[in-house]
């Protein structure tokens, strides 16, 4: 592995009571950070843990009552995370998951926790993937810490960026460039990316790129509507995209993406474009070629393999 490449991480996920729906404990090998995750049924087990009765931060997350497709989160901190998260949970009805963040050596001070809280709120707001339930955004410049402590807390945050998606919360991940830089022409902000397309016999065409594991349908793409396949799995998502103004009517039985939209998979994107259940791995093709997304992905996997040593 050459300099500048990322090393792998070992994440340990422990089911405290042996049930996937119960209390979970998550750590990264070699890191003192310690996360516990619970739903409502295991909330009592969470707050009873000795490791949670420490200084740290916490997150409450659940469906946003104001938007069917959005997650809402509340971020807080306290000298006793157990006590503070109990108080916050009583005031909020939306949450379905509770996450506590402390350390195995109880090494976080009040200043550390307040800094982490402020930075988590700031980074979550910048990413724009979830709705923040926090009424105000703390000023990180007022969280005065020694320079060495700031560096340590930023390293702590870099580990949270890794472990939070593993436990199902992708709130810190920046939006893809194809979405955030929509003020730039498509050709400029997708330089270096492989573009995929769907060409339907009706004349409908859609274009997309894959960026950091997300499949983004670009603005200007078209989608079919009213095909009669009312049971298609992504019907509710399509309705929400229409309600939010991402998709707009564009003639008879056609819709148009007026903004780029990031989908969880090529199949989700193809289902919305074609208005039916679709295998996106074969429906999407490399633009200007007959190579399907699946075939392209297999070629990429082969080309990224390290050279074999002979001898």
> What's the pLDDT score for residue 144?
77
- Which residue in 283, 228, 216 sits closest to 253, CA to CA? 228
Averages of pLDDT over runs of 10 residues in the chain (311 residues) are 64 94 95 96 96 98 82 96 97 96 95 95 91 81 82 96 94 81 74 90 93 90 81 77 90 89 91 92 93 92 64 45
Percent of the chain scored above 90 by pLDDT? 65
Residue 154 is classified by DSSP as H
- DSSP string of 224-239? E---S-TT-TTHHHHH
Q: Strands 56-63 and 33-38, how do they pair? A: unpaired
**Nearest CA among 259, 174, 258 for reference residue 214:** 174
Per-residue model confidence as pLDDT tens digits over 77-110: 999 999 999 999 999 999 999 999 999 999 999 9
Contact 165, 173 (CB under 8 A): yes
The structural domains of the chain, with segments of one domain joined by +, span 11-166, 177-303
What's the predicted TM-score (pTM) here? 0.77
Residue 224's alpha-carbon distances to 89, 183, 288, in angstroms, are: 43, 26, 21
Q: How many CA atoms lie within 13 A of 265 on its CB side?
A: 12
- Token look-up 């949670």 returns 52
136-170, pLDDT tens digit by residue? 777 666 667 999 999 999 999 999 999 999 999 99
CB 76 within 8 A of CB 117: yes
Q: What tokens were used for 158?
A: 């870099």
């Amino acid at each position: 592995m050459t300099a500048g490449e990322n090393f792998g991480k070992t994440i340990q996920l422990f089911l405290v009571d042996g049930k996937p729906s119960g209390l979970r404990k998550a750590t990264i090998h070699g890191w003192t950070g310690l996360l516990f995750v619970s739903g409502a049924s295991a909330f009592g087990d969470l707050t009873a843990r000795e490791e949670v009765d420490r200084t740290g931060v916490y997150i409450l997350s659940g469906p946003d009552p104001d938007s069917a497709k959005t997650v809402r989160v509340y971020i807080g901190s306290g000298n006793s995370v157990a006590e503070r998260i109990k108080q916050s949970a009583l005031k909020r009805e939306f949450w379905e998951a509770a996450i506590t963040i402390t350390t195995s050596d109880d090494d976080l001070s009040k200043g550390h926790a307040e800094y982490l809280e402020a930075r988590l709120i700031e980074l979550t707001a910048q990413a724009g993937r979830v709705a923040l339930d926090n009424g105000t955004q703390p000023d990180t410049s007022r969280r005065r810490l020694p320079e060495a402590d700031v560096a340590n807390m930023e390293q702590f945050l870099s580990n949270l960026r890794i472990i939070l998606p593993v436990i199902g919360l992708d709130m810190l991940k920046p939006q893809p460039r194809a979405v955030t830089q929509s003020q730039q022409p498509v050709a400029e902000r997708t330089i270096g990316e492989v573009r995929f397309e769907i060409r339907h016999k009706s004349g409908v065409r859609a274009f997309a790129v894959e960026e950091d594991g997300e499949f983004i349908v670009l603005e200007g793409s078209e989608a079919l509507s009213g095909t009669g396949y009312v049971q298609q799995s992504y019907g509710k998502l399509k309705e929400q995209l229409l309600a939010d103004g991402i998709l707009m009517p564009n003639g008879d039985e056609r819709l148009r993406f007026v903004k780029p939209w990031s989908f969880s998979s090529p199949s989700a994107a193809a289902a919305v474009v074609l208005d039916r259940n679709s295998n996106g791995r074969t429906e999407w093709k490399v633009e200007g070629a007959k190579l399907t997304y699946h075939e392209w992905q297999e070629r990429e996997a082969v080309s990224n393999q390290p050279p074999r040593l002979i001898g």
